[in-house]
């Protein structure tokens, strides 16, 4: 039965009590038992995000001329993101609602560019097998054929295969920094080089890495080239609502050159009675609160704060990864480079990895399932430093369980 609008008004207390009751069954992300979706960075950050959003709960970011403070915060957030990615003087961009919207806009830019510059009529996109589903969504929405670039043995996109697949119909090539399933960075230099030689738009998906890798580099950790320092990278998506620690609804699509933003991303329209209309985003009316939250957290933490959190992430990642690898029957998939990884049944072991997942569910841990290979997935946030020992103890016990599992249906949340 679909819900119906209640006949009678209710008190705010009644409404809020009903919501709290519903919420009781939700995942306990504050307790560090979930590994993606929310990226808690501490109570101080939470408190600031709440205040910043309250200040901008009602405004509409559609029209920057009515709310110049919003425009100025958006310009600051884009500028900060682009400079962390080593964009030059000509770099620019826009804020979006999330990684998916940034990717859709990169694809739109690439498609319109290819039509204008090379007259492409029957477009295709070269998408590594490990790339986020947002690229498949972009292909579906924009009428672009998705051509899969296979992975090398190290689980990174294969540039030799990409070189064979590229042709005059290719409107966009891309790589992830890092990819969601395995946490590895694709060979961006090689892939972007292939694109540059043919004047094809290249997108780096740094939705996960954009606010971690620059700080890992500063901490002296090895970071494979992925940003605008790589010749041929045209746009980069970087999510403030992931490792930038803003609440949801905040990402940046950064362009190497303002001209691709203005000529191919921007939508302009006059042909109706309502006056001139222009928008960089997929959405029309846009919430102001995520822009405020993003601006607030970037200024609150500053470089110092992000470095502090990056150090915590790195330590937690190292402890978790080596802890998992030390458990008999389990093996880490590939060589993860950032703060997320998958683990599977070690070669020769009779362990059913999804049965391990079930046993972890029973102990209250929410691990995502994935396939190719069958594996469980961990995405670490700074607050996970508190749960490492408990997690590894439970995983050690869970790894003694044998199948059958409740099912190996891969689940991405």
Ligand X SMILES: Cc1ncc(COP(=O)(O)O)c(C=O)c1O
Helix/strand/coil for 215: helix
Which of 249, 311, 208 is CA-nearest to residue 98? 249
Binding test (CB under 6 A) with ligand X, winner from 158, 239, 337, 358: 239
Where b means 16+ CB within 10 Å and e means fewer, 11-45 reads eeeeeeeeeeeeeeeeeebeebbbbbebbbbeeeb
Assigned token pair, 380: 């670490």
- Site stretch for ligand X (CB under 6 A), options 97-105, 266-274, 288-296, 327-335: 97-105
Which 257-316 residues touch ligand X, going by CB under 6 A? none
Nearer to ligand X, 104 or 332 (CB): 104
Assigned token pair, 334: 């590939």
Binding test (CB under 6 A) with ligand X, winner from 32, 93, 98, 128: 98
- Strand-by-strand arrangement of the 145-149 sheet: 92-96, 251-255, 235-239, 201-205, 170-176, 124-128, 145-149
Note whether 132 binds ligand X by CB under 6 A. yes
β-strand 201-205 against 170-176: which pairing, if any? parallel
With both helix axes pointing from N to C terminus, report the angle between 99-118 and 133-142 in degrees, rounded to the nearest 10: 50
Which 203-222 residues touch ligand X, going by CB under 6 A? 205, 207-208
Nearer to ligand X, 124 or 339 (CB): 339
Binding test (CB under 6 A) with ligand X, winner from 32, 87, 93, 99: 99
Which 135-194 residues touch ligand X, going by CB under 6 A? 176, 179-180
Note whether 246 binds ligand X by CB under 6 A. no
Angle at alpha carbon of residue 26, lines to 390 and 352, rounded to 5°: 50
Nearer to ligand X, 98 or 123 (CB): 98
- Site stretch for ligand X (CB under 6 A), options 200-208, 212-220, 259-267, 351-359: 200-208
- Residues contacting ligand X: total by CB under 6 A: 13
**Least distance from ligand X to the Cβ atom of residue 379, Å:** 8
**Least distance from ligand X to the Cβ atom of residue 20, Å:** 26
Binding region for ligand X (CB under 6 A): 98-100, 132, 134, 176, 179-180, 205, 207-208, 239, 251
């Amino acid at each position: 039965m679909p819900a119906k609008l209640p006949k009678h008004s209710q008190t705010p207390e009644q409404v809020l009590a009903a919501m709290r009751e519903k919420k009781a069954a939700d995942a306990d992300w504050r307790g560090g038992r979930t590994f993606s979706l929310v990226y808690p960075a501490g109570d101080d950050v939470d408190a600031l995000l709440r205040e910043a959003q309250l200040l901008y709960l009602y405004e509409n970011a559609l029209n920057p001329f009515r709310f110049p403070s919003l425009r100025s915060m958006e310009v600051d957030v884009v500028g900060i993101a682009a400079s962390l990615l080593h964009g030059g003087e000509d770099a620019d961009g826009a804020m979006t609602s999330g990684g998916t919207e940034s990717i859709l806009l990169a694809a739109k830019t690439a498609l319109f560019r290819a039509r204008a510059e090379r007259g492409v009529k029957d477009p295709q996109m070269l998408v590594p097998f490990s790339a986020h589903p947002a690229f498949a969504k972009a292909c579906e929405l924009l009428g672009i054929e998705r051509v899969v670039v296979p992975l090398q043995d190290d689980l990174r996109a294969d540039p030799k295969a990409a070189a064979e697949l590229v042709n005059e119909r290719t409107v966009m090539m891309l790589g992830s920094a890092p990819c969601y399933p395995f946490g590895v960075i694709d060979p961006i230099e090689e892939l972007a080089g292939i694109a540059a030689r043919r004047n094809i738009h290249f997108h780096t998906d740094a939705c996960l890495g954009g606010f971690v890798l620059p700080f890992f580099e500063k901490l002296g950790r090895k970071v494979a080239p992925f940003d605008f320092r790589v010749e041929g990278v045209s746009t980069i998506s970087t999510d403030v609502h992931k490792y930038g620690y803003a609440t949801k609804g905040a990402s940046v699509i950064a362009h190497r050159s303002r001209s691709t933003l203005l000529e191919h991303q921007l939508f302009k329209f006059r042909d109706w009675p309502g006056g001139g209309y222009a928008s960089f985003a997929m959405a029309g009316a846009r919430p102001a609160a995520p822009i405020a939250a993003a601006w607030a957290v970037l200024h609150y933490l500053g470089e110092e704060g992000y470095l502090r959190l990056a150090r915590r992430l790195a330590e937690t990642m190292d402890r978790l990864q080596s802890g998992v690898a030390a458990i008999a029957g389990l093996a880490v998939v590939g060589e993860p480079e950032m703060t997320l990884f998958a683990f599977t049944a070690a070669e020769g072991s009779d362990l059913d990895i999804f049965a391990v997942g079930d046993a972890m569910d029973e102990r209250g841990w929410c691990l995502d399932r994935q396939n190719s290979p069958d594996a469980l997935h961990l995405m670490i946030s700074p607050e996970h430093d508190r749960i490492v020992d408990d997690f590894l103890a439970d995983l050690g016990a869970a790894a003694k369980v044998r199948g059958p599992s409740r099912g190996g249906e891969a689940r991405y949340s």
